[in-house]
């Protein structure tokens, strides 16, 4: 690391290309802010971030399908999610994967250099040891520190110029009940039980999904507001009306954590699993008290201790709204 202490100097042009998933995008945002703090001119190529340019002062946001080769031509360095890998080897493009690079990818055959200096470990995985107990935020900070020579102790900017907090935000909880992977999802009946118990304690409970799910979620959670947003700005603005996020292992929890909200992650994984919200200290992983295999599948949903969420939150019942 000592050799890389001055690797990033003020004025360097660095482009970041996250994969489309919301959780991954929040990690690349963290890296962008670290580079920005070091004085780099940072460009983020992201469809989802295009709607929140106003919340990201100092960062250049490019929407549309990322043009990795074009970014390489006008940047000193590009750090790109492996999802957008191009066939042509580019000497200033570093590829990052979450936990595993493709089998055919040979990092040693594609050295990465920045203004004539080779960057050791530029092609890498973010999580190098899933059993280490670190969050993905801690892993991306380690990449920034050990590979790019950035100061991981320096504060980062975070989202700026956000809408004012809603007056009743303290007592509103947003539940994200779905993910693109059904095996990760807690049961609708379980989320309905949780919602009833929270409402009984005076909480305002609202559900969030993607637009194609809105009708299905409205049918599954009758009597509760169900939101779906066409862009990231709508979701961020809504979360400014909340103080708590409950989600599966999904992007909603990461975004809530990034925004400083208290998050509860419902998962069958161990409590220190790598991909848990880690942007603040207010995250709690809710996993089953037991699980077992049955006909080749893991049975875990009936054993989620919802009481841990309910008991961890204040009782608003009887208090003045």
Dump pLDDT digits (tens) for 149-188: 999 999 999 999 999 999 999 999 999 999 999 999 999 9
**pLDDT, average across residues 72-85:** 97
Residue 208 structure tokens: 């969030």
**Do 129 and 233 fall within a single domain?**
no
Residues 6+ apart with CB under 8 A from 75: 13, 14, 15, 43, 92
Examine residue 83 and state whether it is found in any structural domain, yes or no. yes
Find the CATH number of the domain harbouring 37. Answer: 3.40.50
Examine residue 319 and state whether it is found in any structural domain, yes or no. no
List the alpha helices (DSSP H) in 44-187: 68-74, 136-146
- What is the rounded CA–CA span in Å between residue 120 and residue 137? 21
**Do 48 and 99 fall within a single domain?**
yes
Residue 320 has a pLDDT of 57
**Do 254 and 286 fall within a single domain?**
yes
**Do 307 and 184 fall within a single domain?**
yes
Examine residue 67 and state whether it is found in any structural domain, yes or no. yes
- What pLDDT band is residue 1 in, cutting at 50, 70 and 90? very low
Examine residue 157 and state whether it is found in any structural domain, yes or no. no
Q: Is the pLDDT of residue 111 over 50?
A: yes
Per the structure, how many domains does the chain have?
2
Examine residue 161 and state whether it is found in any structural domain, yes or no. no
- What pLDDT band is residue 319 in, cutting at 50, 70 and 90? confident
Looking only at the bridges linking them, the beta strands covering 41-45 and 13-17 are parallel
Q: Is the pLDDT of residue 202 over 90?
A: yes
Find the CATH number of the domain harbouring 238. Answer: 3.40.50.2000
Range of the domain at 284: 169-312
**pLDDT, average across residues 13-24:** 96
Q: What percent of the chain has pLDDT over 70?
A: 98
**Do 199 and 252 fall within a single domain?**
yes
Q: Is the pLDDT of residue 33 over 80?
A: yes
For the CA atoms of the chain, what is the radius of gyration?
A: 21
Q: For all residues of the chain together, what is the average pLDDT?
A: 95
- What is the rounded CA–CA span in Å between residue 26 and residue 280? 13
- What is the rounded CA–CA span in Å between residue 142 and residue 127? 10
- What pLDDT band is residue 2 in, cutting at 50, 70 and 90? very low
**Do 97 and 207 fall within a single domain?**
no
Pick from 112, 146, 180: which residue ends a domain?
A: 146
Residue 235 has a pLDDT of 98
What would the pLDDT profile of 210-268 be if each residue is shown by its tens digit? 999 999 999 999 999 999 999 999 999 999 999 999 999 999 999 999 999 999 999 99
Distances (CA, A) of 70 to 32, 55, 65, 113: 19, 25, 11, 17
CB contact at 8 A, 36 and 159: no
**Do 258 and 142 fall within a single domain?**
no
Residue 117 has a pLDDT of 94
274: nearest Cα among 265, 282, 298: 265
């Amino acid at each position: 690391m000592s050799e890389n202490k001055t690797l990033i100097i003020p004025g360097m042009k660095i482009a970041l290309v996250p994969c489309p998933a919301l959780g991954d995008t929040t990690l690349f945002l963290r890296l962008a802010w670290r580079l920005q703090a070091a004085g780099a001119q940072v460009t983020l190529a992201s469809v989802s971030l295009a709607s929140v340019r106003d919340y990201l002062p100092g960062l250049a946001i490019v929407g549309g399908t990322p043009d990795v080769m074009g970014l390489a031509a006008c940047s000193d360095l590009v750090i790109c999610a492996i999802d957008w890998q191009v066939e042509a080897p580019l000497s200033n493009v570093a590829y990052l994967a979450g936990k595993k690079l493709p089998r055919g990818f040979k990092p040693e055959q594609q050295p990465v250099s920045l203004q004539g200096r080779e960057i050791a470990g530029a092609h890498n995985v973010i999580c190098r040891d899933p059993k280490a107990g670190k969050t993905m935020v801690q892993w991306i900070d380690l990449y920034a520190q050990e590979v790019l020579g950035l100061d991981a102790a320096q504060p980062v900017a975070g989202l700026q110029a956000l809408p004012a907090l809603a007056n009743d935000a303290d007592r509103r909880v947003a539940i994200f009940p779905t993910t693109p992977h059904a095996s990760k999802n807690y049961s609708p009946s379980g989320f309905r039980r949780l919602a009833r118990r929270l409402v009984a304690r005076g909480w305002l409970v609202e559900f969030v999904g993607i637009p194609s799910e809105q009708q299905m979620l409205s049918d599954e959670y009758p009597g509760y507001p169900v939101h779906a947003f066409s862009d990231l700005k709508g979701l961020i603005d809504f979360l400014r009306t909340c103080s708590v996020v409950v989600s599966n292992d999904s992007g909603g929890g990461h975004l809530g954590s990034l925004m400083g909200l208290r998050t509860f992650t419902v998962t069958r994984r161990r409590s220190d699993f790598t991909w848990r919200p880690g942007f603040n200290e207010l995250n709690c992983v809710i996993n089953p008290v037991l699980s077992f295999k049955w006909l080749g599948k893991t049975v875990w949903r009936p054993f989620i201790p919802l009481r841990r969420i309910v008991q961890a939150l204040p009782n608003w019942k009887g208090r003045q709204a």
